[in-house]
Structure 1
Amino acid sequence: MKRAFFVVLFIFLVSSVFAEDIEFTDSTLTQGEFESFTKELGVALSFNPMSPAETLGVTGFDIGAELVVTDISDNKKYWETLVDDNDPSSYLPVPRLHVQKGLPFNIDIGAMYTAVPNSNIKLWGVELKYALLEGTAATPALSIRGSFSKLEGVDELDITTQSGDILISKGFMMLTPYAGLSALRINGSENSDLVNFEDVHEVIYRGLAGLQFSPLPLFVINLEASIGEVNQYGVKAGIRF
């Protein structure tokens, strides 16, 4: 499992290089800029599936470390003024610890948490997945999934997300490709004395594609991309059984 340790270490080292505090420092920001910022940050804070459609079964567990990077508009004023050093990176990385547990009746539950290194961003989320089709050697698995996430640690900003996903996957030897469609609702509000913006409620739709690779017994690596108005790319390393 030495290889797994280095993958997990890499995930958190990469995230710590780019992390920055989020804070309001410019009173000239507009409502539209706040809405764009909330939408992009909300996507970065959403709870991505990072697993195929097939459920774990009653005795199953999936425990992993993830790094999800979001392609943000780093050249826009709202990012340049809302990060503490006024020099945002092109991608916003958010590491997560992600745990899933299989339950009876084709149900999985899960949770994730992160405290981003060198940043005031903390995040937690929960998920529920139900298999409409369990999948067999000849047929794919089909699941629906709901998730919720909440930003913590940024005193001047409240963001929550809710998503509904439909996922399909089919395993082949050590590989399990999967794909899905997602509707993501982002809710944001500010608590700053410097600005006064209306609350933001946005819904965006995305497609996602992923690949789970099992190079060793119990050890899995996931690669996932979510494509839409705001794009994301993720990697996960963990233990699944």
Structure 2
Amino acid sequence: MLLSLILHTAHAALDELRFDAMLDWQNNPYSGSYQNAYIKVTQQLCAAMANSALTPPKTYGFQGIGVDLQQSFSFIDSSSELKDPPSSWSLMTEDEAAQRHLWIPEIQLRKGLPFSMEVGSKIGYIGNSKLGTYGAWGRITPLEGYKEGPDLSFQIGYSGLVGSDQFALGVMDIGMVIGKTFAFGPYVDLKSAHVTPMLTFGQLKTKSLLRIDNELQETMNIENYSSMPQFISPKINQENTSPNYIAAGVQILNNDFRFQLNYRNTFGTLTTLSSSIGFLY
């Protein structure tokens, strides 16, 4: 399945997202809402590039370091057909036929800290585009290592978009992860291979700041928006810009090598499948 998605992505390039491309559709003036299409595209971009809270809640410890290679596929509101009314992504691309999903490969680095805390960072690339992503997060695990119950952690982080001259995007993730580690055998501490199923709940806070000239903004009647906390960004036009999400996944750890497979549903926005491989040091 993942291979077929990669092959499809390679033949469906994501053109540069541009607001002036929205002014017409199939060589006729577009009469729909530019603001609605703009919010749909930017909200789906934010959800796709947000930090994944879905990693086992058990932290690495003060000396622990983790390095992961992750790829994710997010299914966006687009179509390969020129239909009317158009999808938001098709409207915002010059060839009016955007790809059906976003492929984002990433490199992630995690570092354990004292008191069951952990920090991490990432850099990524949005496939077949000129756009990239970055992010950082922190986690704390108040419940960890109890054999009779699950581990529980809380995460807060921020991700941003680079490479666009049309808008600046940011997304803050706030989530809670519940997970439990089981050995491939009766004794967790005496086996090198473990499996950890996990579940997470959370919310995204998003913002988009336009970088186009004022004349085009007034012509299209589009505006900045932000649902970020006030100390990060003034709250403006924040309706429907704080989607909730739920995710489920599993990690398989063998000695220092690990593999993860995750599914996330950002309600009313998009769904994302992701997988990763990595090492613990």
Instruction: Return the index of the structure with the highest Cα Rg.
Output: 2
Say whether residues 1:199 and 2:224 are aligned partners.
yes
Quick one: structure 1 residues 19 and 95, their matched pair in 2 at CA, closer, same or farther if it must change by over 3 Å?
farther
Residue 217 (structure 1) aligned to one of 224, 240, 255:
255
Structure 2's unaligned 5+ residue stretches are 24-29, 80-85, 184-193, 227-240
Is contact 2:13–2:98 with CA below 8 Å preserved after alignment? no
Alignment partner, residue 95 of structure 1: 105
Residue 48 (structure 2) aligned to one of 37, 44, 49:
44
Quick one: structure 1 residues 167 and 19, their matched pair in 2 at CA, closer, same or farther if it must change by over 3 Å?
farther
- 1:1-241 matches, within 5 Å, as 17=10, 19-24=13-18, 25-27=21-23, 28=30, 30-75=34-79, 76-173=86-183, 174-193=194-213, 195-196=216-217, 197-201=222-226, 202-214=241-253, 216-227=254-265, 228-229=267-268, 230-241=270-281
Quick one: structure 1 residues 84 and 160, their matched pair in 2 at CA, closer, same or farther if it must change by over 3 Å?
same
Partner letter of residue 66 of structure 2? D
Quick one: structure 1 residues 109 and 84, their matched pair in 2 at CA, closer, same or farther if it must change by over 3 Å?
farther
TM-score by length of 1: 0.87
Quick one: structure 1 residues 190 and 165, their matched pair in 2 at CA, closer, same or farther if it must change by over 3 Å?
same
Matched position secondary structure for 2:48: helix
Q: In structure 2, how many angstroms separate the alpha carbons of the residues matched to 1:63 and 1:14? A: 26
Is contact 1:50–1:234 with CA below 8 Å preserved after alignment? no
TM-score by length of 2: 0.76
Query: Taking every aligned residue pair, what percent have the same amino acid on both sides?
Result: 21
Query: Alignment length, in residue pairs?
Result: 232
Moved more, 67-76 or 17-26: 17-26
Matched position secondary structure for 1:113: strand
Is contact 2:54–2:177 with CA below 8 Å preserved after alignment? no
State the superposition RMSD in angstroms: 2.4
Residue by residue over 1:52-71, the C-alpha shift from the partner in whole angstroms, topping out at 9 and shown as x without a partner, is 11111111111111111112
Alpha-carbon shift at residue 22 of structure 1 (Å): 3.1
Residue by residue over 1:140-195, the C-alpha shift from the partner in whole angstroms, topping out at 9 and shown as x without a partner, is 11010001001000111110000110111100112101111111011112222484
Q: In structure 1, how many angstroms separate the alpha carbons of the residues matched to 2:264 and 2:127? A: 24
Matched position secondary structure for 1:203: coil
Q: In structure 2, how many angstroms separate the alpha carbons of the residues matched to 1:14 and 1:123? A: 22
Q: In structure 2, how many angstroms separate the alpha carbons of the residues matched to 1:212 and 1:19? A: 32
After TM superposition, what 4+ stretches of structure 1 lie above 4 angstroms from structure 2? 13-16
Residue by residue over 1:184-238, the C-alpha shift from the partner in whole angstroms, topping out at 9 and shown as x without a partner, is 0111122224841211331011111110012x42111111111122211111111
Structure 1's unaligned 5+ residue stretches are 1-6
Relative to its length, the structure with more strand (as a share) is: 1
Partner letter of residue 46 of structure 2? G
Partner letter of residue 223 of structure 1? L
